[in-house]
Homo-oligomer: A and B are copies of this chain.
Amino acid sequence: MFELRLVQGSLLKKVLEAIKDLVNDANFDCSATGFSLQAMDPSHVALVALLLRPDGFEHYRCDRNISMGMNLNNMSKILKCGGNDDIITIRADDGSDTVTFMFESPNGSANFEMNLMDIDSEHHGIDESKCCAVVRMPSSEFQRICKVLSSIGDTVVISVTNEGVQFSTRGDIGTANIVCRQNINVDKPEESTVIEMSQPVSSQFPLRYMNSFTKATPLSNTVTISLTSELLLAVEYTIAEMGYIRFYLAPKIEDLAEALGLE
């Protein structure tokens, strides 16, 4: 049997909102490591990796590793059925083809039984050691920049230097350049922009995917953007005391599987 109980049920709603537009169907992997998911978008340009560690749950029981295939849109519908302050329990019996979601509030309870799916998937190992520039900035500012640039062009060039990170695009209207300078705010560290890099780096990405990643903004005040020496982009939102959601994006034109060096 697999069972988890999450007091802050609204967090799971936010996780689903963050990934359901990128991925339609995915396997949730349940193990001693935690409740996790790794899936590529249908065009194999982006990859999302989610981890919620066991100690973040009020109760976490996983008798043996299982993989539950879910339609994320349906799962999101069910999670929206719970109130924002509800406690959520997810339970699956061994060998069952359904999963049960239970919502508890002071005045009552609700339970939903959702059909599981068989989904083929392969797990990708990602080598992040080649990271050569890391930018941590307010997640809302990153979201605003992606949105703004999409109104001008389709592709963004991200360039990181010691002075700051620059986002540029070009479209029929003209050109746009947005620069965020390194900026340490001691009183409000979550409003800081911090740049760490071994060498200047620049790469180009489709804005459509970056806008999709920013749907994770409600999960965290800050976002960490990394560019590897292979010019791959990683965008990470930490989920307080529980884990993270990470998005990987291939540079424009190239194929992600190749860029990731996947076997």
Contacts and interface: CB of A to CB of B under 8 A. Distances in A.
Interface string A110-141: 11111100000000000000000000000001
Contacts of A112: 152, 174-177
Size bin of chain A's contact surface: 35 or more
Nearest to A178: B110
Given A98-B174, A114-B174, A173-B74, A179 B80 contact: no
A1 interface: no
A81 interface: yes
Q: How many monomers of this protein are in the complex?
A: 3
A49 interface: no
Contact of A164 (B77, B108, B148, B152): B108
Nearest to A193: B107
Q: From DSSP, what is the main secondary structure of chain A's interface residues?
A: strand
A208 interface: no
Given A107-B181, A141-B107, A115 B174 contact: yes
A77 B151 contact: yes
A212 B152 CA distance: 26
A115 to B, nearest CB: 5
A6 interface: no
Contact of A83 (B71, B77, B144, B175): B144
Nearest to A71: B173
A181 B106 CA distance: 9
A110 B181 contact: no
Contact of A175 (B71, B113, B144): B113
A180 B179 CA distance: 51
A183 interface: yes
Contacts of A174: 74, 78, 98, 112-115
A38 B114 CA distance: 41
A258 to B, nearest CB: 33
Interface string A92-104: 0000001000000
A77 B113 contact: no
B179 A110 contact: yes
Interface of A: 71, 74, 77-78, 80-81, 83, 98, 106-115, 141, 144, 148-149, 151-152, 164, 173-181, 183, 193
Given A71-B173, A112-B174, 4 more contacts: A77-B173, A108-B180, A110-B179, A113-B175
